[in-house]
Amino acid sequence: MTGARAAGALLGAGILALVVVIAVGAPLITHQSPAGLDIKNRLLPPVWAAGGSAEHVLGTDHLGRDLLSRLAYGARVSLLVGVSAVTVSGVVGVSLGLVAGYYGGHVDDVIMRLADFELAFPFILLAIAILAVLGPGLSKVILVLGLTGWAQYCRLTRAQVLGLRETEFVEAARTIGASTPRILLRHILPNAMAPVIVIASFSVAGVIIAEASLSFLGLGIPPSVPSWGGMLAEGRTYIERAWWLVTFPGMALMLTVLSINVLGDAVRDTLDPRLRGLS
Amino acid sequence: MRHMKRSRAWSWLKRAAVGLMALALIGAPSTGGSAAPAQDTAVILQGADIVTLEPYYSQSLPDQNAIIHMFETLTRFGDNLQLLPGLAESWRLLDARTWEFKLVAGRRFQNGEPLNAAAVRYTLLRGKEFYEKKLGDVQYEYNLLDLDTVEAIDDVTVRVRSKNPNPLIPLHMAHSQTAPMPPRYTSQTSVNDLQRKPIGSGPYRVIEFVPNERVVLETWSEHPNRPAVRRLLFRPVPEDATRIAELTAGNADIIVNVPPDLIPQVERNRSARVETVAGLRRIIIGLRQDRHPALRDKRVRQALNFAFDCRTMMRNLLANKGECTGTVANVPDQNPAVKAYPFDVQRAAALLDEAGWRMNPRTNVREQGGRALEFGFDCPRGRYIKDAEICQVIASDLAKVGVKTDVQVFDWSVFVGKSARRGAGFRDIYLIGSGPGFECQADLALVQKDSGSNRSLTDMARFEALWDDMSVTFDVKKRRDICFRMQDVIYDEAPVIFIWFQTDIYGVSQRLEWKPRADERIRLHTSRFR
Amino acid sequence: MLVVVLMVSVASFALLFLTGDPTELLLGSAADVMSQQQIEEFRRARGFDRPWLVQYLGFLTHAARGDFGDSLRHHRPAFEVIWERVPATVQLGAVAFALSVGLGVPLGVISATRRGSVVDAGAMLLALLGQSVPSFWLGIVLIMIFGVYLHLLPISGRGTWLHLVLPGLTLAAFPLARNARLTRSSVLEVMHQEYVRTARAKGVPEFGVVYRHALRNALIPVVTVIGLQLGFLLGGSVIVETIFAWPGVGRALIQAIGNKDFPVVQAGVTMLAVTFVAVNLLVDLLYATLNPRIRYQ
C-alpha cells in the first residue's frame, strides 16, 4: 500500500474507532439518559441555536429525550445490528457459495434453489411474520436482517468460484495433491473475497438503513431503545420543523459508512496480492 | 439452454428488453393527473385507498366519505350530530317492535327509478340477506338492526319491524348501509360493477374510478339540492408529510390527520388553514383485572390516574388540541360534575402505599409480598393520534411513582389480533380507542361486564346495578339521571386510565369553505369555493 | 424453478397463518357486538377454522387454474387486485433500474479509469451519500425541494411522466450508488490482471483494453448484484410507494399482509416469485454473453 492509500485506511480506521469508543463510552460522554422523557422540553434546538440549552447540547427529540445521548447509545445498537446481521449473512452465504461453486452438481442445485427461495421471498413478509410470532426485540431484528441477506453472498461467491475454479494456480494446487478444504480456503477464498468484502461493507450500512425501514413500517426495535435508524424514521416528519432530529443521526451514519468503506477497500487490497505495491 | 451460444443469448436478451418496455408502456399513465386542482374540483387526500363504493361491502372511512355523497339515507346526522329527517320526513313508533317511516314524495334515483317504499324494502331485505349469508361487510349494522320484516304500505310509507324492541331504529337508518338503492339496477348488475358504479339518490355520482389512484364524483343535475362544488376528487396519500406537502404546495383542498406538531407548518402558509373538531373517539388505557392482582384494587387504579400528568401531555404533545377527561360518555350525555383526575403524585404514592405496594429503594419499583408492581403495556402504532408517544409518556409518568411498565408497540394488524376475544392477547394494560355509541348506554357498554368491547373484564357491582336499572327505564329524564350516576361510579372505580376524546385535525385550503364534523365524515354538500 | 415458486407460496401461507386467522380483522368493530358463537359461525362460514394444510391445498388447486380466490377486503378476484398494480410497479421499477444502471455503471467505469482524480472523489462521495441515506428521508427532502419550494414537479400519485421523476430518483439512489462502487472496484481489479497487462504489452490501445477485455469480466459481479436488485425494486419499493402514494404492488402486499388478506398475499407473493424466476433467466443469459469461458455442468 502506498502512502496515500495507507493514510486513507488509517483515517477510516480512526473514524470507526472513534465511533466504537463513543458507543462503548456513551455513559461517560453524557449524563443524560437516552430514555429520559421530558415532554416539557421537546423539540429543543441544539445549544448554538435560538432557544437551545446547555443541558441538551444537540437538542431534544419529539419526546424531550436528549439527542446527544441517544446518538451515543444509538451507536451501540446500530453498530451491533449492522455488524451482527452482516456477519450472520456473510458467513452463511460465503460458505454455501464456496461449496456450491466448487462441487457443482446436485449440491449446487440444492443450494441455488435455497438461495433463490430466500431472494424471491419478500423481505417485508418475513420480517412481519418473524417479528409477529417472536415479538419485537433487538435480537429478533438482527435475526430477520441476517436471514434475509445471505443469498447475495452465496451467489456472488459462487460466481467468483466458477471463474476461479479453472485457473492455473488452482489446477497446480490440485496436481500437487492439496486437499479440497485447503484449496478452497487458501487458494480460492482469498481471490473470491474482493467483491464480497465490498458488498459486505455496503451491507453494514444497508442493514442499518434496513433497520430504519423496519422502524418506518413500525416493525423495528422498541421505541425506548435508541438506534440511528429508528431516530431517522421517527424524525422524518420533522425535517422542516426540527432539522436536528435527522441531521445528526444522518451525519453519524454517513461517517460510519465512509469509514467502513475505506477500511473495506484497505482490507481488500491487503488480501489481494496482485494489488499490493500498485498505486 | 446453458450451452447457448453467445449470439443466441443476445437475441433472447433483446427480446426480453423489448417485452419489458412494452409492459411498461401498456400501462402508460393517463394524462388526467396534473398537479394543481381545477377551479371547480375539490381535492380530498385521505390516508387510505377507496376500495369500494358499494355500501354493503365497506365500513372503512375513506370509502364512506365518497359513499355519503352518492347515497342518501332515511334519516341523517346534522353537523352537530342531531338526528334529522333525510329521505323520510317523519317517523313514529307503531308498536314495541315496529317503526313507521313516511318518505318524501316524488324522489328518484340517479338512473330514473322511483325512490319509493318498495325500494326501501328491497334495500333493507337485501341487507338482511347479506347478513344471514355472511356476505359483504354488514355484520355490525345488521346485527344491531336485527330485522324481522319490512313492509311497503304505500308508495311513501314503510314499516320496519325488528325481532326485539329497539328504540334506536331511527338512529340506525342514518347508516349508509340502509341507504336505499334502485332495485332494478342493483339486482341486475354484477357484484364487481356495483363496487365501481353503484347508483344512489345522492347529489353526486361517480364519473371516474381508477383503483388505487383516484375517485372522481360529479354533481347530478336533477337532485333537488344541488351542491355548489361541482366535482370531488379523492386520492389516497398514506404518508403524513406528503399530504402536508401537497396542501402547502396548493395541490389539495382537504387533508386528513394533520399531526399536532405540524400545525404551525400548515398555518404558516397563507393559502391553507387548520380545522379541528372535538371527536367522539375515546382514547383510554385499559387495565385488565384478570391478570396482575394489583389492578383489581381500586386504589391502585386511582393511583395510576393521579400519577398521569395529562394536562402537560395535552399541552406539549398534543398542541393543546384537546381536553383531559374523567368519563367515557360522549356529549351530550357527559356528566358535567365529572372532571378529569388532577395530577397529584403525592396522592398516587399515598394510595399505592395504602394498598400495600411499598417502594423498593434499590430498584425504584414498588413491591408487595415479593411481587413487583410491573405491567406489560401493549400499544398500537399509527392507528390513533400519537398513540405510541402517549404510551411512552404515560409509562414515564408511572415510573416516577414506582410503577414499572414494559412498553411494546405493535403494528395495528398484530394489535387487533391481540384485542380479539375480549383482549385475550393483551398483557396487563393497553392503549385503545373506542368509537361512540351515539347514546349513553351504548357509550358506557365499554365497561359493562358482559360487553364484547369490555376488554378489561371489569365488573363493578354498583355500576351493574345501575345498568340493569337503565335497561328497563324508558323515561328520557330518568335515563339521563342514571347515566350521570353511572359516570360517577366509573370515575370512582377507575376501570381505565382516562386520556381524552381524540380531536380530529384537518388541513384545509383557504379557497374552500368547509367545517369538519365530529363523526369523522367529510361532507361537502354545503361547501363552496370562495 | 417451479419448485422455488412453490416453496415461496407454501412458506408465505404458513407464516401468515402462524400470525392468526383474519376473522377478527375482517369483522372489525362488529366483533365487539357479536357473541363468541356468532364469531365462530363467521369463521366457519369462511372456512378459516380448517387446518392450514387443508386450506392451503384448497387454495393450491384453484391457483393452478389461475384462480387465487376473492380478496377478503376488496371483494373481487385477488389476482385482479395485484395485476392491476403491475403496470405502475413496472414503470417505477424500470425507471429506477434504468437510472441505477445507466448512470451507475458508467460512473463506476469513469471513476476507475480516472482513479485518484477529482472526478473519482466526487463520484465516490455521491455514491456514499446514495448508500447512507434511507429512502424515506431522501423522498421527503426531494418533495420539499422540488415539490413545495420550487414547485417544479408533482408530489404524489400517478399521472404524467413527470410524476415518475421524484419516486424514480428516490428508488434508484441506493442501487445507483452500489452499482457505481462495485463497478469501479471490479474494473480496477480486472485492469491489473495478467491478460490485461498482456494486452497492453501487445500495444492494444487503452480504449480497447478497457472496454473489450476488462469491462466484460468486470461486469460479472455487477450483473449478479443487478439481478438481485430487480427483485428488490419490484417487491421492496414499499417505502417509496408509501411516501409518493404510488399505486404499486409492494404497498398492496403490505396492506394485504396487515389485513391478513390471504388470497391477495398469495397472489402477490406468487407473482413476485414468478417475476424473480424470470429475472434469473435473464441474468443467466447475460452471464453467457459476457464470459463464454464460464462453463456450467
The single-letter code of the amino acid at B136 is G
Query: What's the gap in Å between the CA of B34 and the closest CA on chain C?
Result: 7
Q: Name the band, by pLDDT with cuts 50, 70 and 90, for residue A37.
A: confident
C37 touching B (Cβ < 8 Å): no
Query: What's the gap in Å between the CA of C273 and the closest CA on chain A?
Result: 5
Q: Which chains touch A (3 or more CB pairs under 8 A)?
A: B, C
- Among candidate residues B302, B292, B368, B286, the one with its CA nearest the CA of residue B340: B302
Ramachandran angles phi, psi of B93, nearest 5° = -85, 120
CB A63 to CB B389 under 8 A? yes
Interface test with A, best of C114, C131, C264 (most A CBs within 10 A): C131
A63 touching B (Cβ < 8 Å): yes
Give Dmax over CA atoms of chain B in angstroms.
Answer: 92
Handedness of CA C112, C115, C117, C123 (dihedral sign): positive
CB C87 to CB B192 under 8 A? no
Interface test with B, best of C33, C73, C160, C259 (most B CBs within 10 A): C33
B399 touching A (Cβ < 8 Å): no
C220 touching B (Cβ < 8 Å): no
Please tell me which residue of chain C has the smallest CA distance to B32: C159
Q: Which residues contact A48 (CB under 8 A, 6 or more apart)?
A: none
**C210-269: pLDDT as tens digits:** 566 666 667 777 776 666 666 566 545 888 999 999 998 888 887 887 777 878 888 888
A134 touching C (Cβ < 8 Å): no
Ramachandran angles phi, psi of C226, nearest 5° = -60, -40
The packing angle between helices B387-399 and B298-307, to 10°, is 110
Q: Are C262 and C16 in contact (CB under 8 A)?
A: yes
CB B241 to CB A39 under 8 A? no
Partner residue opposite B236 with nearest CB, options C73, C160, C245: C245
B247: Cα separation from own chain's centroid: 23
Confidence at residue B4, expressed as pLDDT on a 0 to 100 scale: 47
A24 touching C (Cβ < 8 Å): no
Q: Name the band, by pLDDT with cuts 50, 70 and 90, for residue A268.
A: low
- Chain C residue numbers with beta carbons less than 8 Å from the beta carbon of A217 are 238-239, 254
Confidence at residue C206, expressed as pLDDT on a 0 to 100 scale: 62
A136 touching B (Cβ < 8 Å): yes
B393 touching A (Cβ < 8 Å): yes
- Chain A residue numbers with beta carbons less than 8 Å from the beta carbon of B316 are 39-40, 42
Confidence at residue B3, expressed as pLDDT on a 0 to 100 scale: 46
Q: Are B525 and B219 in contact (CB under 8 A)?
A: no
Partner residue opposite C269 with nearest CB, options A122, A163, A209: A122
The interface predicted TM-score of the complex, written ipTM, equals 0.81
**A45-55: pLDDT as tens digits:** 898 888 888 88
Q: pLDDT of chain C along its 297 residues, tens only?
A: 667 777 777 777 776 666 666 776 667 666 666 777 777 877 777 777 777 777 777 777 777 777 777 887 787 888 888 888 888 888 888 888 888 888 888 888 888 888 778 888 888 888 888 877 888 888 999 999 999 889 899 999 998 889 999 999 999 998 898 888 888 877 777 777 756 667 667 766 666 655 666 666 677 777 766 666 665 665 458 889 999 999 988 888 878 877 778 788 888 888 777 777 777 777 777 767 766 555 443
The list of chain B residues with pLDDT below 70 reads 1-36
3-state secondary structure (DSSP) of residue A63: coil
The single-letter code of the amino acid at B427 is R
Query: What's the gap in Å between the CA of C24 and the closest CA on chain B?
Result: 6
Confidence at residue B2, expressed as pLDDT on a 0 to 100 scale: 43
- Reading the block at residue A76, the C-alpha cell is 451501540
A-B Cβ pairs (cutoff 8 Å, strict): 55
Question: What are the residue ranges of helices labelled H in B146-198?
Answer: 169-172, 183-188, 191-196
Query: What's the gap in Å between the CA of A36 and the closest CA on chain C?
Result: 26
Distance CA B96, CA B370 (A): 58
B407 touching A (Cβ < 8 Å): yes
- Among candidate residues B207, B203, B267, B216, the one with its CA nearest the CA of residue B44: B216
Q: Name the band, by pLDDT with cuts 50, 70 and 90, for residue A160.
A: confident
- Chain B residue numbers with beta carbons less than 8 Å from the beta carbon of A237 are 240-241, 259, 261-262
- Chain C residue numbers with beta carbons less than 8 Å from the beta carbon of B22 are none
Q: Which chains touch B (3 or more CB pairs under 8 A)?
A: A, C
Confidence at residue A279, expressed as pLDDT on a 0 to 100 scale: 30
C235 touching A (Cβ < 8 Å): yes
C5 touching A (Cβ < 8 Å): yes
Query: What's the gap in Å between the CA of A219 and the closest CA on chain C?
Result: 12
Please tell me which residue of chain C has the smallest CA distance to A237: C140
Partner residue opposite B13 with nearest CB, options C243, C286, C292: C286
Partner residue opposite B51 with nearest CB, options C45, C73, C143: C73
CB B33 to CB C242 under 8 A? no
Confidence at residue B392, expressed as pLDDT on a 0 to 100 scale: 93
Helix, strand and coil percent figures for chain B, each rounded to 5: 35, 25, 40
- Reading the block at residue B193, the C-alpha cell is 360493477
Query: What's the gap in Å between the CA of B393 and the closest CA on chain C?
Result: 26
Distance CA B118, CA B121 (A): 5
Partner residue opposite C18 with nearest CB, options A133, A212, A257: A133
CB C235 to CB A117 under 8 A? no
Partner residue opposite C231 with nearest CB, options A119, A162, A258: A119
Distance CA A136, CA A222 (A): 7
**Stretch 77-116 of chain C: residues touching chain A, C-beta under 8 Å:** 116
Partner residue opposite B2 with nearest CB, options C147, C282, C296: C296
